[in-house]
A = this chain, B = another copy of it.
Amino acid sequence: MAKLKIIVSAASFFCTRIEWALKLKGLEYELTFEDWDKGKSELLLKSNPVHKKIPVLLDDGVAIAESKVILEYIDEKWKGGDFYPLLPQDPYERAQARFWAQFADDKCAYSTWRAWHAEDALEKEKAMEAALESFAYLEKQIQGKKFFAGDKIGHLDLVAGWIPRWLGVMEETGGMKIFDAERFPSLREWGENFMDIPLIKDCVPPRDVLVDHFFRGLSHLRSLEPNKP
C-alpha cells in the first residue's frame, strides 16, 4: 500500500499540482477520487473537517490540506540530496515565488472562475476584466524567462500550471475568451514549454474529459443558485 495518498476530484487543478510535486520528488502515491454525485466521502470529511475540500494529502495517515500548504510540506519533508527543489534557496526569491503563487490563485484563478460561471452579462464582463488585468501581471513576470522559477520549473510554475490546459476548457465551457496569443505571448510560450515536460503532461486530464466535467460543474453550480425561476 502506498504511503502517500491524495484525495482528489477528477478535474481539479488544485489536485494536479500536488501530483506534479510528488512526481518531481520521485515519490509514489495513490489517488482516491471523490465522486460529487455521491456527496463528500467519509475520508474527506474526516481528513479536512474544516474546509471539507480537496485536495488532501495523506502521508502515512496524517492529513494535510490546502494546496499551497501541501506544496510547501512536500518541499520541506523531501529536501536536499537528489530531491527536486520546488522553492529556491534564497529567502527573497522564496518570498517572490510565494507572493506570485498567492496572486495566481487569488487573482488569476479566482477571477477566471467568477467569469466562467457568471450568468449576468455585466458580472461576467467585470470578472473578465479583472482576469485580463491579473494575467497581464503574470505575463510581465514570465517575460524573458523559460519558466517562472528560471530554467527549471518550481513552485509558481506548478501553481500557475492550470493555465495551459484548464483555462481553455473554462473559456470553452464558460463562453468567454481571455487568453489570446497576441495579448499574452510570453505566457502562451511558457504554457507550451510547461506542457512539453512529459512528467507534467502525464498528469493532465484529457481535454474532452475536462470539458465534460466543467459543463457538468456549471449545471451543478446553477442548480444551487438561489432565487432561480
Contact = CB atoms under 8 A, between A and B. Distances in A.
Query: How many copies altogether?
Result: 2
What band does the interface of chain A fall in when counting residues whose beta carbon is under 8 Å from B? 20 to 34
A178 interface: no
A76 B92 CA distance: 9
A137 interface: yes
Contacts of A73: 91-92, 94-95
A66 interface: yes
A128 interface: no
Contact of A69 (B70, B77, B102, B137): B102
A50 B95 contact: no
Contact of A76 (B66, B91, B103): B91
A62 B98 contact: no
Contact of A91 (B50, B77, B92): B77
